[in-house]
Amino acid sequence: MLTCLIAPRLRRYTPTVFISLMLAGCSSLDATENISQTASIASARVDLSAETAWSRPIEERSTAWNGVTPLRADVALLVAIQNNPQLRISLSKIVERRADYVQSELPPNPTIGFGVGIAIDGLSGAPAMAQGLQALTWLWTRPDRIAAAEADLREAILSAASDTVSLAAEIGTAHAKVVAAQHLLAFDVANVDIARHNLHLIHDLHGAGEASQLDIDRATIDMQSGRSSVVFATRELEQRQLTLIELMGWPDHDTQWRAVDQTLIAPTSDERSLLRLAAKQRLDLTVAEQHIRRQLASVSLAGTKRLPTVDFTLGWQQNFSSRDAVVPGARISIPVLDNGGPAIAKAAAQLEQARLNWIETANHIAYEVRLNMSRWKQATQQLRITQEGVVPAAKAAVVQSESAYQSGVTTLVVLLHAQEALIEAERSLVRHQLLEAESLIELRRAVGGTFELLPAEALAIEHTRQGDAS
């Protein structure tokens, strides 16, 4: 009867295989190859070599940047890949899952028991016994445990690579904000210079009787407001620099450096093409697929609860008459009261949750691509209008107002208004440039980190053979 119950699972295990499973070694605990897989997947999406940075300790500051020279976004990301603690936590989870994978291959340790009797009736002789016990149930649960652990390991690899892509987007956005803050500070400093020059000019006009005290007061207010804006812009720049160096893993670094603007590559594909690209390259979608694989293994593992649990025993006994006996045997737990139904139902529900989570992830990816595509188009169109229409018109107005004022055709108020309009147009240009950069960075992250179709070997590892994870 027992043979009939367990034969379907044990049919592929010959005695030779059984002995080899008991005695053979397991996969290596070294997760170097898995870290290398993560680096390959991430590097293809961020255009940087992550493996070189991860080979160095986090306590050692990255040599990619000396902390003084103008900082580019790609250099900031290279520093962050080595020194960002959250990213290193993701890598440590790979090591953790690697240990779980190796653990899943190991059989349970045998149990050995001893006993010595003590005669209490005054007669001579004392019994003794020794018994060894080895669980056999792991034989038919081992494939499912390994499959579940392997899916967890792959999920950790893909999650770490996905975290790298997300970090690249955060670094790019933070760097763009620093660049924008630098430009805004420069405009505010220039505004103060203009306001100071206007104040001196009005003082001269007042001395000549051509300007009133009210004009002086207004010019003074403009200059003081400009000084206040400089203070705000200076601290705003400092705070954005602090945000960037914190992401880089250098929160204690000073802010006596400048960021260099970098040209971002815009997509050449339409919305539908980007949606197809995201379906192939988004790592969080592949992570959701691995979670489904893990739950499939859990469903199969739960099904083994319908089979008996078997322990093999081999004992030695000596009775009071010093007679020895070898006692082989087995201990079998029959699934009568608990036939595994609740465990199977729970695993099936978790599998359905994993499937629905994949659907939700796919839906959210499509939403992110379309939303960021719309935001990028909006920012691009507004930037073009400001760059090609508003700013040139404001500059022309200032030139004409200065000429008209010097000719006595118009008043100083008209000139001041023209200067204020130019400054506001230039600020608006910077804000639109920042919005375009942010939306483009988010769109690139939404499609998987790059607008280029990756080669098949770099897309993911969901089709990796089981042995490749070893």
For the chain, the farthest-separated pair of C-alpha atoms sits apart, in whole angstroms, at 134
pLDDT of amino acid 461:
52
Q: Which two tokens stand for residue 230?
A: 């400089």
**pLDDT at position 456, please?**
65
Query: What pLDDT sits at residue 166?
Result: 95
Helix/strand/coil for 298: helix
pTM to 2 decimal places: 0.83
Which tokens belong to 330? 């087995």
pLDDT tens for the 470 residues of the chain, in order: 333 333 333 333 444 444 444 444 467 888 889 999 999 899 889 988 888 889 899 999 999 999 999 999 999 999 999 999 999 999 999 999 999 999 888 888 888 887 777 766 666 666 777 777 777 777 888 888 899 999 999 999 999 999 999 999 999 999 999 999 999 999 889 888 888 877 787 787 777 776 678 877 877 888 888 889 899 999 999 999 999 999 999 999 999 999 998 888 888 889 999 999 999 999 999 999 999 999 999 998 888 888 887 777 777 777 766 777 787 877 778 887 778 888 889 999 999 999 999 999 999 999 999 999 999 999 999 999 999 999 999 999 989 988 887 787 877 778 878 888 888 899 999 999 999 999 999 999 999 988 888 876 555 454 444 344 43
User: Would you identify the CATH topology of the domain 30-115+126-469?
Assistant: Outer membrane efflux proteins (OEP) (1.20.1600)
Task: Please report the pLDDT score of residue 192 as a whole number.
Answer: 85
The residue behind tokens 């107002």 is 401
Gap between the Cα atoms of 372 and 446, Å rounded: 8
Please, are residues 75 and 65 in contact by the beta-carbon 8 Å criterion? Answer: yes
| DSSP state at residue 447 | T
Q: With left for phi above 0 and alpha for psi between -120 and 50, is residue 353 left, alpha or beta?
A: alpha
**How far apart are the two ends of the chain, measured CA to CA in Å?**
37
Strand arrangement of the beta sheet that strand 324-333 belongs to = 111-116, 128-135, 309-318, 324-333
* Domain edges within the chain: 30-115+126-469
User: If you ran DSSP here, which 8-state letter would residue 68 be given?
Assistant: S
